[in-house]
């Protein structure tokens, strides 16, 4: 371990100013919302001054360093002192986040997460880009040294895939925005027939909602790249706020290959993931998408390079939904199916938006069978394989009740066997 971070040190000196800048928009919005009154402006100025002094005093009492026991220590607090120790040996991720203002000034935040319950992360805001990258490399090197017994002797070759921004914009236009516009247009015509002029409001709301959704998606996923290196899967994206994530393959608990109906003529797919240890209180806290859009010709290469053990090419092993399920799921009964391969629990669903969800047997948390009153009348049940929180849901619906029970018992046996022979995924 180098000596650069072995002694307590502060974050960047401009940290209080950046924190104050983040609070300023709240005052400005309230100022214009309540009214352009000088007394409220004075209150806002006082708030910013007091807040600035508070941020500066808090910065003075905030330290971080890497100790000799392989821990990241962080201390903070003025009246109430707080000390945190994160064991690098239990490292889950080290991510670099660059909000717009901090990015403009050459600063970034470093988020460190470790395995554990409760608040198991530390966010260092703000560090210079060079210092954040240096500390991130230092932490990853320490974690690698802790895990040398499970790592291969030879370093893995690097590989990277970039998503075309043109294809990204086109894919987003053909999803949320398109659906909102179609619904808004139909509703506008219907309202206009009843009351002339009323449809303009509905159309404006639909156009506004779809535009906001489109812009948010573009700015969040712009310049998206995914790759692998000897540290894991590296994900980077963002236009104004850039994010850089490194995810170990073993942390990916479940995946979902998604294809909206508007993407089918182009052969496009999206791959979403559930990641263990990610903070789910915010959708921006960690990676939820492995790749936002990819052509079917490159999908096999993507899985081969990033997740070589995830084989989703299933032919004759599907357990189809019961015939009576068409009364409960008329649009997608033909698509509903479950498969238990040697490595994965796989669910197929969706009519307009097709989904193929999967999780390794050893990473499934629990198995449940549910049956509502209508399903009980039809003799069908739903089989749920619970994963960690995330966008992927493994719900096998429309199965015959006896088939669901038999499949659940078989999956429990596969889960037990897989956990006994669990092996870390390496390149």
Q: Are residues 288 and 340 in the same domain?
A: no
Tell me which of 218 and 141 has the higher pLDDT: 218
Q: Assess if residue 399 is contained within a domain.
A: yes
Contact yes or no for 191/271 (Cβ under 8 A):
no
What's the average model confidence in pLDDT over 345-372? 93
Q: Assess if residue 7 is contained within a domain.
A: no
Q: Assess if residue 197 is contained within a domain.
A: yes
Q: Are residues 286 and 318 in the same domain?
A: no
Residue 26: per-residue pLDDT: 59
DSSP-derived 3-state class of residue 163: coil
Closest by CA to 298, choosing from 170, 158, 156, 160, is: 160
Please report, rounded to a whole number, the percentage of residues in the chain having pLDDT higher than 90. 32
Residue with tokens 């001054």: 49
Q: Rounded mean pLDDT of the chain? A: 81
Contact yes or no for 206/185 (Cβ under 8 A):
yes
Dist. CA 390–CA 279, nearest whole Å:
10
Q: Is 50 exposed, middle or buried (0-12, 13-18, 19+ CB in 10 A)?
A: exposed
Q: Is 3 exposed, middle or buried (0-12, 13-18, 19+ CB in 10 A)?
A: exposed
Q: Are residues 289 and 322 in the same domain?
A: no
Q: Assess if residue 2 is contained within a domain.
A: no
Q: Are residues 44 and 170 in the same domain?
A: no
Counting every residue written for the chain, the total comes to 427
Q: Are residues 58 and 185 in the same domain?
A: no
DSSP-derived 3-state class of residue 76: strand
Q: Are residues 171 and 299 in the same domain?
A: yes
3-state SS, 176-245, equals: HHHHHHHHHHHHHHHHHHHCCCCHHHHHHHHHHHHHHHHHHHHHHHCCCEEEEECCEEEEEECCCCEEEE
Q: Are residues 175 and 222 in the same domain?
A: yes
What does the pLDDT look like over 24-72, one tens digit per residue? 665 565 555 555 566 666 776 777 777 778 778 888 888 888 887 778 8
Residue 150: per-residue pLDDT: 43
Residue 344: per-residue pLDDT: 93
Dist. CA 149–CA 61, nearest whole Å:
39
Contact yes or no for 404/383 (Cβ under 8 A):
yes
Q: Assess if residue 333 is contained within a domain.
A: yes
| 268, 303, 338 - which closes a domain | 303
In this structure, what are the phi and psi dihedrals at residue 34, rounded to the nearest 5 degrees? -75, -35
What does the pLDDT look like over 190-246, one tens digit per residue? 766 666 655 566 666 666 667 777 888 889 899 999 998 877 898 999 888 888 888
Q: Assess if residue 257 is contained within a domain.
A: yes
Residue 151: per-residue pLDDT: 43
The CATH number covering residue 344 comes to 2.30.29
Confidence grade of residue 148 (pLDDT, cut at 50, 70, 90): very low
DSSP-derived 3-state class of residue 372: coil
With a cut of 70, say whether residue 175 has pLDDT above it: yes
Q: Assess if residue 104 is contained within a domain.
A: yes
Domain that holds residue 394: 311-420
Residue with tokens 């986040």: 97
Token pair of 105 as six digits: 């000034």
The CATH number covering residue 84 comes to 2.30.29.30
With a cut of 60, say whether residue 314 has pLDDT above it: yes
Q: Are residues 329 and 416 in the same domain?
A: yes
What does the pLDDT look like over 149-166, one tens digit per residue? 444 434 446 888 999 999
Q: Are residues 299 and 335 in the same domain?
A: no
Count: domains in the chain: 3
Residue 426: per-residue pLDDT: 46
Q: Are residues 366 and 413 in the same domain?
A: yes
Say what angle helices 38-60 and 15-34 make with each other, to 10 degrees. Answer: 160
């Amino acid at each position: 371990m180098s000596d650069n971070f072995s002694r307590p040190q502060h974050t960047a000196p401009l940290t209080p100013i950046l924190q104050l800048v983040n609070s300023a928009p709240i005052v400005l919005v309230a100022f214009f919302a309540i009214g352009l009154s000088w007394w409220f402006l004075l209150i806002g100025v006082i708030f910013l001054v007091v807040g600035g002094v508070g941020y500066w005093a808090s910065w003075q009492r905030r330290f971080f360093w890497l100790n000799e026991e392989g821990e990241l220590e962080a201390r903070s607090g003025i009246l109430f002192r707080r000390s945190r120790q994160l064991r690098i040996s239990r490292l889950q991720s080290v991510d670099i986040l660059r909000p717009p203002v901090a990015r403009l000034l050459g600063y970034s935040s470093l988020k460190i997460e470790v395995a554990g319950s409760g608040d198991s992360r530390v966010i260092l805001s703000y560090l210079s880009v060079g210092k954040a990258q240096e500390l991130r490399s230092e932490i990853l090197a320490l974690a690698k040294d802790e895990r040398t017994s499970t790592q291969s002797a030879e370093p893995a070759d690097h590989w990277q895939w970039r998503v075309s921004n043109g294809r990204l914009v086109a894919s987003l236009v053909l999803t949320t925005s398109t659906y909102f516009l179609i619904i808004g247009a139909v509703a506008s015509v219907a309202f206009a027939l009843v009351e002339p002029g009323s449809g303009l409001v509905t159309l404006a709301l639909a156009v506004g909602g779809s535009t906001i959704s489109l812009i948010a998606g573009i700015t969040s996923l712009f310049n998206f790249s995914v790759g692998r290196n000897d540290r894991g899967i590296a994900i980077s994206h963002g236009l104004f706020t850039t994010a850089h994530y490194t995810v170990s393959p073993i942390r990916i608990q479940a995946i979902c290959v998604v294809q909206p109906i508007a993407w089918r003529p182009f052969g496009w797919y999206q791959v979403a993931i559930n990641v263990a240890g990610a903070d789910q209180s915010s959708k921006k806290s960690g990676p939820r998408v492995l790749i936002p859009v990819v052509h079917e010709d490159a999908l096999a290469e993507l899985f081969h390079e990033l997740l070589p053990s995830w084989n989703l090419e299933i032919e004759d092993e599907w357990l189809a939904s019961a015939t009576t399920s068409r009364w409960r799921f008329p649009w997608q009964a033909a698509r509903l199916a479950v498969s238990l391969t040697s490595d994965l629990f796989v669910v197929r669903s969706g009519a307009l938006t097709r989904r193929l969800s999967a999780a390794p047997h050893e990473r499934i948390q629990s198995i449940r069978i549910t049956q509502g009153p209508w399903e009980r009348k039809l003799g069908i049940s739903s089989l749920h394989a619970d994963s960690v929180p995330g966008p992927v849901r493994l719900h096998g619906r429309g199965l015959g009740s006896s088939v669901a029970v038999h499949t659940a018992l078989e999956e429990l046996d596969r889960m037990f066997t897989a956990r006994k022979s669990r092996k870390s995924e390496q390149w």
